[in-house]
Structure formats: structure tokens, C-alpha cells
Chains A and B, each alone.
Chain A
Amino acid sequence: MPASLPTDSVGIVTPELIHFSEPLSLASGRVLPEYDLMVETYGELNADCSNAVLICHALSGHHHAAGFHSESDKYPGWWDSAIGPGKPIDTDRFFVVSLNNLGGCHGSTGPTSIDPNTGKPYGPDFPFVTVGDWVISQVRLADRLGIQRWAAVVGGSLGGMQAMQWAIDYPDRLGHALVIASSPKLTAQNIAFNEVARQAISKDPQFHDGRYYDHDALPKTGLSLARMIGHITYLSDDGMAEKFGREMRTGELSFDLNTQFQVESYLRYQGEKFSTAFDANTYLLMTKALDYFDPASEYDDDLAKALSHASCKFLVVSFTTDWRFSPERSREITDALVAANKDVSYAEIDSDHGHDAFLIDSPRYMAVFRAYMDRVANELNLGVTP
């Protein structure tokens, strides 16, 4: 944490573990007998419970979206750029709910949790979950918190998919969906990258078919490789050129396999950091949820037909150098919404940051985000930011 709290920070926050004892039937046909969700909230829920905003996280995200957990925290939550007093998702006006999704490894029930049937961690036996399953679990969370209707459901990347799924499956329970740097389904190339990542993990000798907890092992090499591959797809060619270029750590070629270029060192560092902070089984499960997402598939492969069920309004945002979920994917969503005669606005933001741009504060992105959230607040008479 900085020496003093920034005035636009939500400050020190404490997550809460919420238990759900009602069994959850999953798309796979399996049933979770009970589960916990790790949740953080920012701001105050108003008297008529109309100002709630749900934040849906992406592949490696979690409940800690804004603020700091303690004064010794070096970095704030993953979407601190957008959530806080006076920020686009203004916590002076909105009550913000952020959770770790089922199958995650940050406190919600997932592969590292104890299976009540065996008394041992689920590991690879944790059921594969889909975006639709997550949304059902989030509906139950909303019920628990007394939120009948979200002012907005907001998410980037995989989070944007959850916002879309909400709009389709529970049209009466949200006013707006903000779908940022997302896609209506993965392309073959997207799935291919995910598969390489999964292979890297499952081929690691320390993986032990997913039962590495039992062997007191961690597939660090595999998870690290998976993260390195993923990380490349989150950045852009231009962004990498600008950040690293061909800059070397030492002045001359060493003619060996040690890291020579700064970009190699950076990727290794990112991979290693991730390999001890994230659970491999969770990574596998989350990438599968991405691969499986295809809401149009239940509606004759017609996205407009799928989205015709929605009654909320939409903001769709993409970033020019995002090649993981390119602007073209966002335009597909937008076009389908226009075809379905839904209220939609779409902005394509110039950025060098590739897919990661959705997490980064940039003037035009924040202006669009803020303008839209102001509109949401105005419609609900939530008052203006002082």
C-alpha cells in the first residue's frame, strides 16, 4: 500500500466467506452438495437495494477487485483503476459486489477445497463448471445479499461472458450489462492456446493426474509455462516492442540458453510468480469454462436469438490491439444486439496494451466507462458525484 491511502481508494477491505448449503446442479450433470463463495463488497447498499453492481472476474481473477487487504499490501485489487470513490464504478453511489467464482483458488469452493464425501481435497475430481453455472451461483449470492436486480453486471474478458450470460438467463435481474474485451465464444485459435496451456500443466511430472496435493508436489513448471503462453496473448506485439524491444540483460550474446532478452526474463518471472500463487486444477477448469462458453449454441447458433432474451441495456467495449478477444468479437456481440433490437453502445478504444487494456487506466476508456456508469446512476436517481 502507498504511504497514505489514495482518496479514490475504497481503502482497507475484508473479504467474507459465504456458505451455501443448498445443492447446486451443474451443467455437467454433477451436483455440488454445498459450497462457499469468497466475497468482497465496497460502498453501501441503498434502502431499496437498487444500487448494486456485480463484478465478474476473468480467468485468473478473484474477489479482491479493489482496495487493500492490509497496510502492508503492495498492490490494490485487480480492478482498482475502475472501482472506488469518484472512479467509473463510483463506490459513493454504487454498492459493489465482487466474488471468487466456484472452482477458484482464492477461498471459494474449488479443487483445493475439501470434498465432504471423502474428507480430502477435490483436486481433479472437482466438477467442471460453466459460465452458466457461475451465473446460477451468483444469482444465489444476489438472493442472499437481498439484491433482486443489479444496477449493472460488469466484467472484462471471461467476466464479460458472465455479464452476457446473466442478460440471457436472468433478464429481469439486471438493468445493464457491461461487456468489456470479451467474446461471444472462443475461436479455434483461442482454444488452441488454452490447450497448449493445459498440456503444459498436465504433462508436468509434478502434476500427478491432478493429485499433486496428495504427493506434496506442485506442477510449477507446467503452470508457469501455461501462464507464460497466456501472458503473451494478453499483450500486444506493439506493447511488447515498446516495453521490451530487443533489450538484453547483458550487453552481448552469450550463446547459451540462459535468459538474454528482457522479454524472456519478464515472462519467466510472471510464470514463476503465478505458479506458486495459483492452483493448476483451477487453471485447467477455468480454461475449460472459457472453451465451453457459447450462448448461441442453445439458440440455433444464432447469437441475436440468444440475446433476444435479454431486457437489459448493454455497453460493449473493445481495444484495438487486443488479439485474444479482438474488436471483431465485440462487434459480433454488438451486431447481434442491434439485430435483436437491444439498447447497446459500443466503443473501440485505442490502446497498445492488448487484452490487458481492460485492466489499465487510460483516458478514453475511463471516460466511456464513467459516462456509461453515470447513465446507470442517473436512471436510478442515485445522485451525482460531488
Chain B
Amino acid sequence: MRADLEIIAEWISPKARVLDMGCGDGELLDVLSQQKQVDGLGLEIDHDNITRCIARGVNVIEKNLDEGLASIDDASFDNVVMTQALQVMHRPDLIVEEMLRIGKEGIVTFPNFAHWRARFYLAFRGKMPVSKFLSYSWYDTPNIHFCTFKDFEALCIERNIRIIERTVVDNEHRQRWWHKLWPNMMGEIAIYRITR
């Protein structure tokens, strides 16, 4: 399993009701249901991923998250997870609000645009960063709302969102000592555990 999913799994209680927004092929929910007997539901827009979820027995609902989640009741899930999807949302702030309306706790992961490689790329090349990890050009990228760890934490303060835990990893989801030293410069992906 992807290392970030392992970290997320640690933050989820057994038998919790978990909503995975942008659940991909259902890997996280599949593992959570096997290891922690969670009651999981995924939301996904990609057709092939939806079929993969169904095939592996993960409950999945075809949904464009940008259209909102008004049909889901308040506090109906224990955990709402969103991995690597915040930056593709039209309004990341609203989706974070929705996560905490629907769930008691939210878990968010996103790439850090203030990572030193991105900073150097922009500083010295004068072009929007393209890397193996973020391989799109500016005009075709689905990632329309990049932010940095600092940006996200500022949003949390502004919206009265409490950060319970934060883990910073590299693009292979490994935790390194230098991430702790200067996370907003050294970390590539952050995993936040948030609540109200």
C-alpha cells in the first residue's frame, strides 16, 4: 500500500464510517475494510476507477465533487478523506468546509507547491514547475489550485479549523528528518488531520 495511505489508516478507528472523496481505484477503502472493518464509501468521477472499485467490492458513487455534496447529511461519517484531490477542486475552501460538515474528522493530503524543487524551478527557469511527480503543463493540468502547507494552514486558521496532526512526506511518501526541520521547504506532500 502507498505509504501515505498507511499513515491515513493509522488515523482511522476500527469500524468507522469513512467517506473517501476522490477514492481512485478504491485501494484505501479496500485496505481499511480488510484491516479495520470500516464501513466505507468512495466518491469518484473517473469511469475506469469506478469499475475497479465495484469489482473489488468497494462501494463507490459516481460524483463530480465540484457539484457539491448537499445530498449527504451533516456528521454522517466519522472520517472524510481526500487524498491528492484538493488542488483539482474549483473551490478547495468549500470542499474542506463540506468535509467537516459531513464528517467528524477530515484527512487531507496535497502536494506542496513551496517545495524547494518547485521554488527553484520557478525562480531560475521562470516557468511553472513540471516534475515527474507533477507532470502536467500549466495549460492542461487538472491541478488548478496549488497551495503550500503555509497557505493551507492559514486557511484553517481563517475558518476555525483545528489541525489535529500533520505529517510531511516526500513524493514516495517517506518521512525524512529534514521534513521536520523545514517542512514547507523540504516536504513534498502533507497529510493533515483536521476537525472543527
Contacts and interface: CB of A to CB of B under 8 A. Distances in A.
B151 interface: no
Main secondary structure on A side of the interface with B: helix
Contacts of A338: 41, 61, 71-72, 76
Given A368-B51, A371-B54, A375-B55, A345 B61 contact: yes
B60 interface: yes
A371 B55 contact: yes
The winner among A313, A345, A346, A371 for most chain B CB atoms within 10 A is A345
A105 to B, nearest CB: 36
B53 to A, nearest CB: 7
Given A335-B71, A347-B50, A374 B17 contact: no
Interface string B39-58: 10100000100111111110
Contact of A345 (B47, B59, B73): B59
Contacts of A364: 47, 51
A209 interface: no
A345 B53 contact: yes
Contacts of B63: 346
Interface string A365-383: 0011001101100110000
A368 B54 contact: yes
Interface string A285-318: 0000000000000000000000000000101000
Interface residues of B, number: 21
B108 to A, nearest CB: 21
A268 interface: no
B60 A345 contact: yes
B59 A341 contact: no
A343 B71 contact: no
B57 A348 contact: no
B62 interface: yes
Given A331-B71, A341-B39, A346 B51 contact: no
Contact of A374 (B53, B55, B76): B55
A196 interface: no
Interface residues of A, number: 23
B97 to A, nearest CB: 19
Interface in B125-142: none
A378 B50 contact: no
B114 to A, nearest CB: 37
Given A338-B41, A367-B51, A371-B51, A344 B59 contact: yes
Contacts of A367: 51
Contacts of A345: 50, 53-54, 59-61
A372 B59 contact: no
B59 A339 contact: no
A202 to B, nearest CB: 40
* Residue of B39, B47, B56, B60 with most chain A CB atoms under a 10 A cut-off: B47
Interface string B86-98: 0000000000000
A347 B59 CA distance: 11
Contact of A339 (B54, B56, B73): B73
A348 B71 CA distance: 16
Nearest to B53: A345
Nearest to B73: A339
B41 A348 contact: no
A347 B39 contact: no
Contacts of B52: 371
Contacts of A374: 55
Contacts of B73: 339
A165 interface: no
Contacts of A375: 54-57
A334 interface: yes
Contact of B61 (A313, A344, A368, A379): A344
A39 B79 CA distance: 47
Contact of A368 (B50, B57, B59, B72): B50
A306 B56 CA distance: 28
Nearest to A314: B59
Nearest to B61: A346
Interface of A: 313, 315, 331, 334-335, 338-339, 341, 343-348, 364, 367-368, 371-372, 374-375, 378-379
**10 smallest beta-carbon distances between A and B, as pairs:** A371-B55, A335-B71, A371-B54, A346-B61, A348-B62, A371-B51, A375-B57, A367-B51, A345-B60, A347-B62
